[in-house]
A and B are shown apart, each in its own frame.
Chain A
Amino acid sequence: MKFIKKSVRLAPKVSLILLDWSVRESFHLLHYLSKQEVDRDLFEVIIVEYYSRVSDAIRNFEDQVDSWLLLEMPDDCYYHKHLMYNAGIIAAIGDICVICDSDAMVKPTFIRSIIAEFEKHSNLVLHIDQFRNSRKDLYPFSYPEFSEVTGRGCINNQQGKTKGILDDDDPVHTRNYGACMCARREDLIAIGGADEHIDYLGHICGPYEMTFRLINYGRIESWHQSEFMYHTWHPGQAGVNNYLAPHDGRHIAAAAIESLTERKVYPKVENKFIRELRVSEERIHTWNSDYEIACGCPEGWKVSKQSMKVDKNRTANVPRSWCGYIIERDVEDYQAYPLIENSNIFSGRQRLNVISADSYCDLQREIIKSLPFAMKGMLPVACVLILIARGFGFLFGRAYGKLSSVL
């Protein structure tokens, strides 16, 4: 780990954490940060590079960068953004940490709006949504006007606001949870920082994982209604050719959903230095040792370039739910118990049987065997019918979308 630059700001209110894993072509956010209305001493900019590249794109705006940190991870170690979030949180001096896209545009009111929101409500986790433009002629980035990004080619502009902000029915999938997340540094440390579990390796990850745990910690999720970020198209967006960890089919990490539903506050794998900060009174970390990977097994963070897969054994020791059962791996065997036993609905008059087997596949077989006969016959039929209904819905949705775009 190496610092190219260390912040000398005395008491910034906001720490912006920007990430790179030797892929970013443009850091134009830094240009827009130089145009902010607030005093420059009110915020600091921290760049965290996963590998060892000293990016020329950053060099162009070096005067705007306060801390520049290279994690110097081995080249064959796949990128894990949550490790970078934690490095940024540890290096931050400001009260409010902002994790956001470094290749987006922001208006001069951006920092002032964030500070104002936290002055109004102290127990917030604030998100700022993003207008996205799909026009390829805006690449390479050439500093378009804001109106150009929200105009022709914008995929989510609805009466001057993003579609996601106006949508209350499926906000997780219509809003951009990864665009910009702001939370108090104290709160982020209190929940153990970002989860460094292997289930967040690669593209399926994001600060929303911390948002979900902050909600469970008692913080209120809020979306800014008038401040936005502005993003133009570039190659490789949306995780093309990246390793994808388990997700819900719409790129929300399955592990993050589990944290939300199970009311978890702490991460599965906590960063060692974040834990030190959490348990100690001192909140500023002194960088006297090399940055350490909390899980201690960077070998596991390797992805086969041919199959885009990781070693499954490294994720198999985590409890998983399957077919209404929680599955746990013991030292010698696998055990499953019904999920309903965790709930208040279950009266507990009679404890349901725990099923155990030597292997995961055997356990799945045993669970199926334990189902009533009629259920075993009906379930596959129901699943096929639901799948057919979903397929028709999907085709109809696509046809309707194409028709409305033609009209």
Chain B
Amino acid sequence: MWGEFWYESKYRLAGFIGLIVSLSLLRNSVAPNKKVVVVVDRWDEAIMLSVFGLLKLLVEHRVLFIAKSASLLTYELFDEIGVYFVTTKSVYLRYYPSLLQANKDMRLLII
């Protein structure tokens, strides 16, 4: 039980670190007409992202915290042109039926 918890935590943390580094690298590489929305499914990760954002270490972004897949479908920015989504593999795996189209449209970056 603990072994699986540790393995899953390592997998998720690797995704989170990749997410932070990628958002940091994006700081000077996003066109002004593009918006970045980061999709997370855990409140602790959302808080940490906000902290990094406040310290100006990351590209300007919005955090979209989703606890249920239904909230993704009603998200108002979802179909807007020029909005790009960034998420981790763990979150994508959890919500891929809802995020599939964004991935096909190349509007989703999965870390």
Contacts and interface: CB of A to CB of B under 8 A. Distances in A.
A350 B29 contact: yes
Contacts of A350: 28-29
Interface string A344-381: 11111110100000000000000000011011001100
A344 B103 contact: no
Given A257-B93, A263-B103, A386-B45, A250 B4 contact: yes
A345 B34 contact: yes
Given A249-B7, A249-B10, A340-B109, A261 B18 contact: no
Q: Contact size class for A? A: 35 or more
B100 A390 contact: no
A234 interface: no
A252 B93 contact: yes
B24 A375 contact: yes
Interface string B91-108: 011111100100110110
B25 A338 contact: yes
Nearest to B92: A261
B55 A347 contact: no
Contacts of B26: 340, 345-346
Interface string B63-98: 000011110000000000000101001101111110
B18 A324 contact: yes
A3 interface: no
Given A169-B94, A339-B111, A324 B11 contact: no
Nearest to A392: B44
Given A345-B34, A372-B57, A386 B48 contact: yes
Nearest to B8: A249
B36 interface: yes
A385 B18 contact: no
Nearest to A398: B1
Contacts of B84: 343-345
Interface of B is mostly: helix
A169 B36 CA distance: 23
Interface in B1-46: 1, 4-14, 16-22, 24-26, 28-31, 34, 36, 42, 44-45
Q: Which of A247, A260, A344, A382 has the most CB of B within 10 A?
A: A382
A79 to B, nearest CB: 22
A116 interface: no
Interface residues of B, number: 58
A247 B69 contact: no
A371 B109 contact: no
Given A249-B10, A323-B17, A383-B13, A340 B48 contact: no
A158 interface: no
B57 A375 contact: yes
B28 A324 contact: no
A348 to B, nearest CB: 8
Nearest to B108: A343
A322 B89 CA distance: 12
Interface string A135-164: 000000000000000000000000000000
Contacts of B17: 323-324, 379, 383
B94 A170 contact: yes
Contacts of A338: 22, 25
Contacts of A349: 29
B86 A345 contact: yes
Given A172-B94, A383-B16, A340 B55 contact: no
Q: Which of A343, A344, A394 has the most CB of B within 10 A?
A: A343
A170 B19 CA distance: 21
Given A339-B22, A344-B84, A385-B48, A221 B97 contact: yes
B94 A260 contact: no
A143 B47 CA distance: 52
Contacts of B68: 168-169
Given A257-B89, A324-B19, A340-B25, 8 more contacts: A170-B94, A254-B11, A261-B92, A261-B103, A322-B18, A346-B26, A386-B13, A390-B12
10 contacts: A169-B67, A248-B11, A263-B103, A325-B21, A339-B22, A339-B111, A346-B30, A347-B31, A371-B21, A378-B51
Interface of B: 1, 4-14, 16-22, 24-26, 28-31, 34, 36, 42, 44-45, 48, 51-52, 55, 57, 67-70, 84, 86, 89-90, 92-97, 100, 103-104, 106-107, 109-111
